[in-house]
Amino acid sequence: MSLDAFKNLIEPIESRMVRTIARLVRDPDDAADTMQEVLSTVWKKLETIRTHENPSAYVMRICISKAYDTLRKRSRETSREISIEDLLNVDWAGPQNHSDEGVSDEQLELVRGVMAAVIALPTQQAQAVLLRIMEEYSFREIAQALGCAEATAYSHFSKGKARLREILTAKSSKKAPVK
């Protein structure tokens, strides 16, 4: 085990790790703590990761997993309930009243709502959904990251997405339709 190996592993994906954690864990302090935990885990499991068939995917899975854990710890925080309609009505690319995080407060509420729905998923489904949606990994890469078969990874993703849709649809039925 050496520092060089650690450095060689982290440097190419450091930006992706930072971006993913920052977007999942919006709170800066929690993000820093999550980053520290990710790095410690990678250092401890460096030998395992180096021999893995896709080290980068493994590290990204660790990032998402740690962020997922952090979000679940914060799940008690109340967030506004959102629906699919809320998401469809938002113009993510249009001019916004940007906050410090580059999105409007309303958009931030929506993001938090989506994250609340994601953490309601089972772990592997959530990880598959996040790797696919956020990192745009192929199902093969997701399978490598999760350590399962590609079909299983697809299944996790499909079930997770369907469950996520159900959650958001159910919330839509409680609210008045958004035009």
Partner 1 sequence: MNDQHKHDPFEDVLHDALTAGSNPEAEARLHRVCADFQNQLKQSARPSPFRIWFTRLTSSGRATFPQIENGLLDLPAVNRQYVKIISGLFRRFATVLLLVMIVTISGVGIYKLATAPKPELSQSERLNFAYSHKPADIGVILNCNQNVVNAREKRGGVDQGTSSTAYNRLGLQDDLMKKFFMTGAAFRGITTGLMAYQLDHANQAPETIEQMMKPVDYIGTAKDPFGIGDLKYVRQNDEVLIYSVGPDGKWDGGKPIDLADPKLGGDVGIACNIRTGKTRNLFDERLAPYLKGDRLAHELGARQIISLKGPPVQLVPTSGTLAWGKEVDGLRAAMDLAPSKNEYEKGEQIKVRLYVQNVSRHVVQLASSRDRIEDTLILRDEKGVQVRLVSDSRYALFWRQLVRHTLKPGETASFDGLGLSIGTVRLGGIDINPNNGSYKISFELKFPDLIPCLPEDWQGKLTTGEVELRVAR
Site residues, partner 1 (CB under 8 A): 1-4, 6-7, 10, 14, 17-19, 21-24, 26, 28, 31-32, 35-36, 39-40, 43, 84, 87-88, 90, 92-93, 98, 100-103, 107-108, 110-111, 114-115, 118, 129-130, 132-134, 136, 138-140, 150-151, 153-155, 161, 164-165
| Among the listed residues 85, 40, 84, 47, the one whose alpha carbon sits nearest the alpha carbon of residue 63 | 40
Contact between residue 85 and residue 178 where contact means Cβ atoms under 8 Å apart: yes
Q: Which is nearer to partner 1, 40 or 77 (CB)?
A: 40
Q: Burial-class residue 88 by CB neighbours within 10 Å (0-12, 13-18, 19+).
A: exposed
Cα–Cα distances in angstroms (integers) from residue 41 to residues 36, 38, 52, 63, 66, in the given order: 9, 5, 15, 10, 10
- Kindly report the CA angle at 163 between 28 and 92, in degrees rounded to 5? 50
CA–CA gap between residue 91 and residue 2 (Å, rounded): 47
Rounded least distance, CB 106 to partner 1, Å: 11
Give 112's Cβ-side CA count (13 Å radius).
Answer: 18
Residue 60 CB, nearest distance to partner 1 (Å)? 14
Nearest approach in angstroms of CB 32 to partner 1 is 5
Closest separation in Å from C-beta 7 to partner 1: 6
| CB-nearer residue toward partner 1: 60 or 111 | 111
Query: Which residue number, 52 or 96, has a Cβ lying nearer to partner 1?
Result: 96
Residue number, 61 or 132, with CB nearest to partner 1: 132
Closest separation in Å from C-beta 177 to partner 1: 16
